[in-house]
Amino acid sequence: MDPPRPTRPTTTAARGKPPKLLDEVSARMRRLGRALRTEQAYVGWIRRFILANGKRHPRDMGEREVEAFLTRLATCDRVAPSTQNQALAALLFLYREVLGSDLPWMDDIQRAKRPRRLPVVLDRTEVAAVLAQIEGVSALMAGLLYGSGLRLMECLRLRVKDVDFVMGEIVVREGKGGKDRRTILPASLKSELRTHLQQVRQVHERDLAAGHGAVWLPNALARKFPNAARQWEWQYVFPAAARSHDPIDGRVRRHHIDESTLQRAVKAAVQRAHITKPATCHSLRHSFATHLLEDGYDIRTVQELLGHKDVATTQIYTHVLGRGASGVRSPLDRRR
């Protein structure tokens, strides 16, 4: 769960009135278990589509209006290809999942091509310089991004039970694409992480004593194991400093740290380290992959640790390494 989160509006159906279209979209997304952020993005795009067409009902529109809307996004608003594709995904969800339409034109709409860009990678000296500029819990989280190859939200959503000190592993639950995977727990962080968890446990015990201590769980787990939410192993490794009200059911819970906390810490550290590269939290993950390949680890192993579906995604790091065209010696040079 991502704190703080905006409160979901009360649906018209809950007030005894026929549900409005956007309420139906929200209800359908919750039924399918889609993330809150995805729901908010899709509802926003569908609302924007309707307003752009004079508040006409989508049932009265089709391919021409969808194509025109996407074209305006590209030519007038100059949004990125990924943004265009998100808008298209929202509209296809509306027609297929909410309005029950699955017409041939939906498959004919071409998605915008995303440019293939090289990742921003820090060398080992730069990584050390950045990490040296971060303190406290943010330093531990940044260490895991680089040392374990975690994505930002994968790090924030870690639960106590998913850290295996004996095996030296971290289990990532429902990473990108909804997949679980295992990655390495850096030995150099074990002692610091143990100390951190001891402090987190004390906070959890104080929450329990105050009548709280329940953490958010996916609906299926919450129903199947009603007592799990208060158990230590289900708590977040990086909990927020304060409890807050859950915007969905109003319950007071302690969520995980907000992602902006680490993002700001890394951005400030990059500036203090006088690094000119546009490095972010994700650059630490890119650096993890690149440095493993530099150390001679097999690309399939790196693919598995990163959780990439296709090895072609992992191969982009070989270009950063200079193992692409720039890493090949021309036969002409061998003559000299």
Give the orientation angle of helix 136-148 with respect to helix 259-272, to 10 degrees: 90
Residue 285: active-site member: yes
Partners of residue 245 on adjacent β-strands: 252
32 phi, psi to nearest 5 deg: -90, 0
Is 212 a catalytic site residue? no
Candidates 151, 253, 255, 291; catalytic one: 151
Candidates 34, 159, 212, 282; catalytic one: 282
Residues 6 or more apart whose Cβ sits within 8 Å of residue 59: 99
Instruction: Say if residues 203 and 215 touch (Cβ distance below 8 Å).
Output: no
User: Which DSSP state fits 113?
Assistant: P
277 Cβ neighbours under 8 A, 6+ residues apart? 120, 122, 126, 270, 283
The encoded tokens of residue 53 equal: 């067409």
The reply to whether 57 belongs to the active site is no
Catalytic annotation on 42?
Answer: no
Catalytic-labelled residue, pool 157, 204, 286, 308: 308
Which residues, at least 6 apart from 239, have a Cβ–Cβ distance to it below 8 Å?
200, 203, 204, 254, 255, 256, 257
Selecting among 176, 212, 245, 267, the annotated active-site residue is 176
Token pair for residue 253? 């819970």
Q: Which of 93, 26, 78 is nearest to 248 (CA)?
A: 26
Q: Please indicate whether residue 308 is annotated as part of the active site.
A: yes
| Residues labelled as active-site residues | 151, 176, 282, 285, 308, 317
